[in-house]
């Protein structure tokens, strides 16, 4: 059952076609800058129950397929399916293998039969879904009893240094919006799945300058796609003001960019 007291956020998250187009464009550059994504996904793999051996697994929001290949290597005898909303990502992932099937689809409307998977693995994808209650109910539907949903996501506080710096410059939305951790807690508790673990851990990356950070976000396809984002070119004066504002956060290691990562393992009751 989903919790209707936490409705979708109309207009607060980007349009799905824009998300798909942005990630498709980023497919070729993504892996060269995806240090955080690899680290977070590896930590999610480490959280899977040690003796767990799914017959059928789903990599939901597989991107370039880095974790599809890791899952394929770990669960060699099983059947894997990699799914993403961005065709460009699937075209990049498919030739590299790891799963038996690579399918275009939406996490909020899975093209899978009920009770068809033992594991739904999803790393850093569901923060792009406006209706997370539906993502959970879809995971619940496709999992077999005893099956596991393991996901990571991002929550409020992610890239707060960039958000605050832009706010000082023009007060506009320049950073993607994220759900609060307490919303993840409420929705997971109301999902009908048993919450085995759910935690929020910050990861901080350091950059020599603001340009390196914004170029990386673009290479990942994760730059700002929010409705309400400023259109047109970003003028030189505003960039200089942004750089000056962000410098206030500088530490010995460089300019910090904080990611608030959610790690979750849920189980469908028998």
**98 near ligand SAM, judged by CB under 6 A:** no
Q: State both tokens at 160.
A: 């707060």
- Identify the residue among 2, 14, 41, 120 touching ligand SAM (CB under 6 A): 41
193-232 residues in contact with ligand SAM (CB under 6 A) are: 222
Q: Where are the beta strands (DSSP E) in 184-254?
A: 194-207
Structure tokens at 175: 């950073």
d(CA 209, CA 188): 37
Residue 169 or 222: the one with the smaller Cβ distance to ligand SAM is 222
259 binds ligand SAM, rule: CB under 6 A: no
Binders of ligand SAM among 152-181, rule CB under 6 A?
Answer: none
Exactly one of 13, 34, 149, 265 binds ligand SAM (CB under 6 A); which one? 34
Residue 129 or residue 169: which is nearer to ligand SAM going by CB? Answer: 129
**Site size for ligand SAM (CB under 6 A):** 25
* Distances from the Cα of 39 to the Cα of 46, 116, 149, 158, 247, angstroms: 11, 29, 19, 16, 26
Q: Does 36 bind ligand SAM (CB under 6 A)?
A: no
Distant-in-sequence, close-in-space partners of 174: CB < 8 Å, separation ≥ 6: 162, 163, 166, 224, 229, 230
CB of 135 to ligand SAM, least distance (A): 8
Close Cβ partners of 23 (under 8 Å, ≥ 6 residues apart)? 30, 63, 84, 85, 86, 88, 89, 221
Q: Which of 81, 129, 149, 162 binds ligand SAM (CB under 6 A)?
A: 129
Tell me which residue of 185, 190, 148 sits closest to 53, measured CA to CA.
Answer: 148
| Residue 57 backbone zone (phi > 0: left; psi -120 to 50: alpha; other: beta) | beta
Question: Closer CB to ligand SAM, residue 129 or residue 262?
Answer: 129
Which of 14, 58, 67, 138 is the binder for ligand SAM (CB under 6 A)? 67
Shortest Cβ contact with ligand SAM: which residue?
Answer: 63
Cβ neighbours for 269, distance < 8 A, ≥ 6 positions apart? 145, 192, 193, 194
Q: Which of 23, 102, 132, 207 binds ligand SAM (CB under 6 A)?
A: 23
CA distance 171 to 242: 11
User: CB of 76 within 8 A of CB of 54?
Assistant: no
Region binding ligand SAM by CB under 6 A among candidate stretches 6-14, 79-87, 178-186, 226-234: 79-87
Among 2, 13, 36, 37, binds ligand SAM (CB under 6 A): 37
Site for ligand SAM, rule CB under 6 A: 16, 19-20, 23, 34, 37, 41, 61-63, 66-67, 84-86, 89, 106-108, 123-125, 128-129, 222
């Amino acid at each position: 059952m989903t919790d209707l007291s936490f409705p979708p956020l109309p207009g607060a998250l980007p349009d799905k076609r824009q998300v798909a187009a942005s990630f498709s464009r980023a497919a070729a550059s993504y892996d060269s800058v995806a240090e955080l994504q690899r680290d977070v996904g590896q930590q999610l793999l480490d959280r899977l129950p040690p003796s767990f051996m799914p017959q059928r697994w789903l990599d939901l929001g597989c991107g370039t397929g880095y974790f599809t290949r890791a899952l394929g290597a770990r669960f060699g005898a099983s059947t894997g399916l990699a799914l993403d909303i961005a065709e460009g990502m699937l075209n990049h992932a498919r030739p590299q293998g790891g799963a038996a099937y690579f399918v275009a689809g939406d996490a909020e409307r899975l093209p899978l039969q009920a009770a068809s998977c033992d594991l739904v693995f999803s790393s850093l994808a569901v923060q792009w879904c406006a209706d997370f209650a539906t993502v959970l109910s879809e995971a619940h539907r496709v999992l077999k009893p005893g099956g596991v949903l393991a996901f990571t996501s991002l929550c409020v506080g992610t890239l707060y240094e960039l958000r605050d710096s832009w706010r000082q410059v023009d007060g506009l939305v320049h950073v993607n919006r994220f759900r609060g951790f307490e919303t993840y807690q409420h929705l997971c508790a109301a999902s009908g799945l048993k919450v085995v673990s759910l935690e929020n851990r910050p990861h901080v990356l350091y950059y020599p300058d603001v340009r390196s950070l914004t170029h990386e976000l673009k290479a990942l396809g994760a730059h700002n796609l929010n409705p309400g984002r400023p259109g047109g070119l970003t003028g030189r004066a505003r960039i200089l003001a942004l750089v000056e504002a962000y410098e206030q956060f500088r530490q010995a290691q460089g300019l910090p960019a904080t990611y608030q990562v959610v790690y979750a393992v849920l189980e469908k009751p028998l």
